Amino acid sequence: MIMNDKSHHQTCTNCVMDTSDPSIKFDGNGVCDHCQDFKNNVKPNWQTDNRGRQELTRIVERIKASARGKDFDCLLGISGGVDSSYMLHLAVKEFGLRPLVFHVDGGWNSELAVHNINVMIDKLGLDLYTEVINWEEMKDFQLAFFKSGVPHLDIPQDHAFIATLYHFADKYNIKYILNGGNFSTECVQYPMKYYYYGTDMAQINDITKRFGTVKMETYPFSSIFRHKIYLKYIRGIHVVKPLNYMPYYKDEALALLEKEYRWKPYPQKHFESRFTRFYEGYWLPERFGFDPRRVMFSSLILTGQMTSEDALEKLKQPAYNLDRIEEDFNFIAIKLGISREELQGYFNMPKKYYWDYKNQQNVFRLGAKALHWLGVEKVKKRKK
Ligand SMILES: [Zn+2]
């Protein structure tokens, strides 16, 4: 049982978010602000009926028109997870697009992820552009985050993905990026305390300067200023999230992928990376008392794909297969080139958070506000 730091514990009466999210607020009926936010801000702006279809058809036409005579008309990053895999299927089979499909290999792909990417690429007859991150740099970057004591250990993987995406868009002069992000399975925000911004270079620089030991000569970096301003406004690169314009149900998407591509499901969202499986399934719940399944399940509850009874039942079981923890603990330590004891030491060390290191949180907050006021980001979601 994971205990919360606070003595007062409360779970939302509608979804399964609880006080392990430190900024959660409840109304008089015990309904949390994630649920209020969904009802007031997301749902009114989320059209998956005919209006959404028509809008998406117009967008697809614009994408095609932007790339006449070119080899690719859009860019699509694939992790091997269900959202990006399903989006690839739609892009090619339903919209008739010609995406440049790329994958970032940060050294932690599970065999299942490799299988899932390969079966799709083969069946659709596409080429895959793989960016392999220099392992010595990646390892050192990840170790720096372990040594810093913060919860957001996924940043070295996430940042490489984002930076590579924009690098490809820039290099091949592709104006549209298809993104598998969606309200249907991701409408609830992860708490900032555990999932800090992956593109805050002040934080990354501070942590790598203090704890890193090798020079990051080839690792792809991209600051938020570069991709949100330079690439968007100067180069005119747009991000499109097709899954938000249609009904998107995870179970149906899975069934289609399994049938059409011999695609195989993962036991949990984000488990396509062996590192993320360890980090979200074990490290976050056990070291920090935050179980990310609460966010995933709550999104599914709000969009009618799961009941809160089912979610609460599942949450009683640990996300991690406890029989395998020894094996995986050793695997992670060996892969990072450290002893099991050293890894255990990071697990036991005092907890640190993003505010313990340099950060530009205020700039990020201001930027989000500005984009909302300018009407660029129409759907204003709770800021973590
Ligand atoms: Zn709620």
pLDDT tens readout for residues 64-98? 999 999 999 999 999 999 999 999 999 999 999 99
Distance 165 CA to ligand 1 centre (A): 33
Distance 337 CA to ligand 1 centre (A): 41
Task: Please compute the mean of the pLDDT values over residues 2-16 and round it to a whole number.
Answer: 77
Task: Please compute the mean of the pLDDT values over residues 365-370 and round it to a whole number.
Answer: 79
What's the CA gap between 43 and 97, in Å, rounded?
28
- What are 249-292's pLDDT values in tens digits? 989 999 999 999 999 998 777 778 889 889 999 999 999 999 99
Sheet-wide strand order for 74-77: 128-132, 99-105, 74-77, 176-178, 238-240
Triad 227, 231, 232: Cα angle to 5°: 95
- Would you state the torsion angle of the CA atoms of residues 105, 297, 197, 344, taken in this order, to the nearest 10 degrees? -70
Distance 31 CA to ligand 1 centre (A): 5
Distance 307 CA to ligand 1 centre (A): 12
What's the CA gap between 333 and 356, in Å, rounded?
25
- For residue 169, pLDDT beyond 70: yes
Give the C-alpha distances (Å, rounded to integers) separating 190 from 21, 145, 176, 292. Answer: 8, 19, 27, 8
Give the C-alpha distances (Å, rounded to integers) separating 4 from 8, 188, 204, 291. Answer: 8, 20, 28, 11
- What are 115-144's pLDDT values in tens digits? 999 999 999 999 999 999 999 999 999 999
Distance 15 CA to ligand 1 centre (A): 4
Taking the model in full, what pTM does it have? 0.89
Residue ranges near ligand 1 (ion) with Cβ within 5 Å: 12, 14-15, 17, 32, 34-35
Distance 33 CA to ligand 1 centre (A): 6
Residue that wins the pLDDT comparison between 374 and 290: 290
- For residue 240, pLDDT beyond 60: yes
Distance 198 CA to ligand 1 centre (A): 25
- For residue 170, pLDDT beyond 90: no
> Whose CA is closest to 225, among 106, 104, 366, 103?
366
Q: Which helix (H) or strand (E) holds 104?
A: strand 99-105
Distance 56 CA to ligand 1 centre (A): 30
- For residue 238, pLDDT beyond 70: yes
Average per-residue pLDDT in the chain? 90
Find all residues with CB under 8 Å of 362, minimum gap 6, and list them. Answer: none
Tokens 């040594």 belong to which residue? 147
> Whose CA is closest to 256, among 90, 138, 8?
90
Distance 27 CA to ligand 1 centre (A): 10
**What's the pLDDT score for residue 59?**
96
Distance 26 CA to ligand 1 centre (A): 8
Distance 256 CA to ligand 1 centre (A): 30
SS3 154: coil
Q: Which helix (H) or strand (E) holds 170?
A: helix 155-171
- Please tell me the least confidently modeled range out of 107-121, 220-234, 300-314: 220-234
Task: Please compute the mean of the pLDDT values over residues 341-359 and round it to a whole number.
Answer: 97
Give the C-alpha distances (Å, rounded to integers) separating 370 from 89, 225, 367, 377, 380. Answer: 35, 14, 5, 9, 11
